[in-house]
Amino acid sequence: MPAASDDFLMLPVDLLRAGLFIHLDLGWMSHPFPRGRFRLGGSDEIDTLRRLGVREVRVQRSMSDAQALLDACSEWQHTKDDAQRDAPAVPAARTPEKTPEKTTAAASPLAVAAGAPNPLLDTFRNDGAQRRLRAQLQSQRDSLAHSERVHAQATRGWQSVMRDAVSRPQQAHQAAAALANGLCDELLGDPDTTVRVIGEAAGTAQSQHALNVTVLSLLLGRSLGLEGAALQDLAMGALLHDVGKLLLPDHLRNADASNPALLLRECREHVAQGVRLGMAMGLDAEVLRVIGQHHEWHDGSGLPQGLSGAAISLPARVVGLVNRYDRLCNPPAGEPMRTPHEAQAHLFAHQRAQIDPVVLAAFIKLLGVYPPGSIVQLSDDRLALVVAVHPARPLRPTVRIHDPRVAPEDTPLLHLNDQPALGIRRSLHPQHLPRTVVDTLSPRGRIHCYFAHDLEPARARAAQVA
């Protein structure tokens, strides 16, 4: 679909900078570039344009880096202001009268593109775009801070439950129920709730695993139609699915991944001990089934009873899948780490027979092909971190673009749902990227997920409701 005419503006070559997406109005034999439309990568390309005698270039706003566009237009405005301030005064009697048509025609080429008014530059004249950018960045920071703050509270709640589970089981039950209820409210309180990757996560690897499994299980359970008490039981089961590890000896709790026999014993023992602790806590039967069945598999190859198909409760099938996914992304010491994209692909390619196909299909639809935490290459070759995926638009996630000139917290998020011409080309592993790129995108050694609210522009949320 061709871009709208007001998506373009004419910029003098001297104002160009890396990150702007330009269209050359030259024949393909009249310039040395591979394509006539491309994103400027540096000063060499700009110098080539000067040598070609090009004075102005069409810039496409929607395909350009926001910060580069902001800097270029701000510089243009300062240049114009300086020129007006330094111009010699003209006696009023000799100033020719200008008609509205002449005023428009005499305006800078930046003010008109393809014969259409340019609303972007109008906003720059009154600093509106800068205010909107600052507001957008502040909204992003507020949303992330809220997710990290509530995640930290949930982590403390889970740690409190674990401290009391053995010595004060009834009190642990009450605390777990309160935490599960709070997480369900967090999910259901906003119909636009999505899943995001958060940068900082409090607690231990065990608490982070429990929260990851619970958040993703609730989102998956909701997509499968669970609600009310069933969703509450799912949250309780997910939070407590590994509670039996509290009663394991150290050599089992920290079983070496290279010892399959020890891992098998650890699996059997922590499930059995978890059911025992759950009964002491007075947990409902459905919650106990999640704890007792989250290592059972659809084809009957799981533990401890070898159950299959519908004999495994739906909440247990949900938690079992998400538990396996998080272990692939955030493995114990000694096991290889996979990116979220690789983990999902591994489940589908190698373990599909062990997973309920309905649950697996819903999980892939929920997170999309590139789950939060994935580093991707966009169709215009830029690198980005997938920050969030909306269940209604799994193939059009929200990403943070790699820009070495801008701190991650100062980089506006890009909603691919608002960029029809832009997509994802492939997923990349951090090990295959320069250290500087990984540090700028800031993916952590572990992937932490939590609920997110108000990440998308208001117009996108309104369109989804409609």
**Which of 273, 80, 32 lies closest to 166, judged by CA?**
273
> Which residue range forms the structural domain that includes residue 445?
133-465
User: Is 89 among the domain residues?
Assistant: no
Largest CA distance in the chain: 99
Same domain, 380 and 412: yes
Instruction: Check whether residue 38 and residue 179 sit in a common domain.
Output: no
Residue 395 counted as domain residue: yes
Pairing of strands 383-389, 56-60: unpaired
| Residue type, position 307, single letter | L
Residue 50 identity: R
DSSP state of 310: G
State both tokens at 273.
């001990």
Q: How far is CA 251 from CA 196, 208, 245, 258, 335, in A?
A: 35, 22, 11, 13, 17
User: For residue 343, which of 366, 316, 307, 374 has the smallest C-alpha distance?
Assistant: 374
**Position 114: which residue type?**
A
Beta bridge partners of 196: 388, 450
Q: Are residues 333 and 259 in the same domain?
A: yes
Number of compact structural domains in the chain: 2
Cis before 340 (ω within 30): no
Distance between CA 322 and CA 340 in Å, rounded? 12
Residue 187 lies in a domain: yes
pLDDT in tens, 194-251: 889 887 677 888 999 999 999 999 999 999 999 999 999 999 999 999 999 999 998 7
Q: Record the tokens describing residue 65, joined without a space.
A: 């880096």
**CB burial class (10 A; 0-12, 13-18, 19+) of residue 458?**
exposed
Q: What is the pTM of this model?
A: 0.71
| DSSP 8-state symbol, 27 | -
Based on the fold, state whether residues 264 and 373 are members of the same structural domain.
yes
Q: Tell me the per-residue pLDDT of 379-396, one tens digit each, with 9 for 90 and over.
A: 998 999 999 998 788 889
DSSP conformational letter for 286: H
466 residues of the chain, pLDDT tens digit each: 445 556 788 888 988 999 898 988 765 556 777 667 788 987 888 888 888 888 888 888 888 888 888 888 878 777 665 655 555 554 444 444 444 443 333 333 333 333 334 444 444 444 566 777 788 888 888 888 888 888 999 999 999 999 999 999 999 999 999 999 999 998 887 777 888 988 767 788 899 999 999 999 999 999 999 999 999 999 999 999 999 999 999 878 877 767 788 888 999 999 999 999 999 999 999 999 999 999 999 999 999 999 999 999 999 999 999 999 999 999 887 788 888 999 999 999 999 999 999 999 999 999 998 999 999 999 998 999 999 998 788 889 999 998 887 877 788 899 998 888 899 999 998 888 887 788 778 656 688 899 987 666 544 444 443 3
Residues in the chain: 466
- CATH of residue 218's domain is 1.10.3210.10
